Homo-oligomer: A and B are copies of this chain.
C-alpha cells in the first residue's frame, strides 16, 4: 500500500476516534450489533446525528452495516484498528531506540 493511501487511512481512522460520541458508539457495538434507533436512544441526540457518526465510523472501516429487513445492524470491525495500533507501536519502537541512543550516549561518556 502506498504511503499516501495509508496516510489517508490513518487520518480517517484517528480522527474518527477523536470524538467521544463515536468512541461510545464503538463501546456499545463491542458486545453485540445494534441498529441505529437503539444506538440513538442512548445518546441525547437526534437520529440523523447518530446516523452521521455511524457513517464516519463506517467510512473509517470501523463498523460494518448489514441490513436485516427494516433494520440495519452495526457491528465492530476490530481489525481495522490494527494500522492505528501499528502506528502507535512504531512510535514506541522509536522511543525504545531513543532510550538505546541515550544509553549508548551515557555509556560512551562514562567510558571516556
A contact residues vs B (CB 8 Å cutoff): 4, 7-8, 10-20, 23, 26, 30-31, 76, 78, 81, 84-85, 87-89, 91-92, 94-95, 98-99, 101-102, 105-106, 109
Bound Cα distance A17, B109 (Å): 27
Q: Is the contact region of chain A dominated by helix, strand, or loop, or is it mixed?
A: helix
Q: Which residue of B lies closest to A82 (CB)?
A: B95
Is the beta-carbon distance between B11 and A14 smaller than 8 angstroms? no
Is the beta-carbon distance between A91 and B18 smaller than 8 angstroms? no
Is the beta-carbon distance between B78 and A30 smaller than 8 angstroms? no
Given contacts A81-B88, A94-B30, A95-B78, contact A10 B15 (CB under 8 A): no
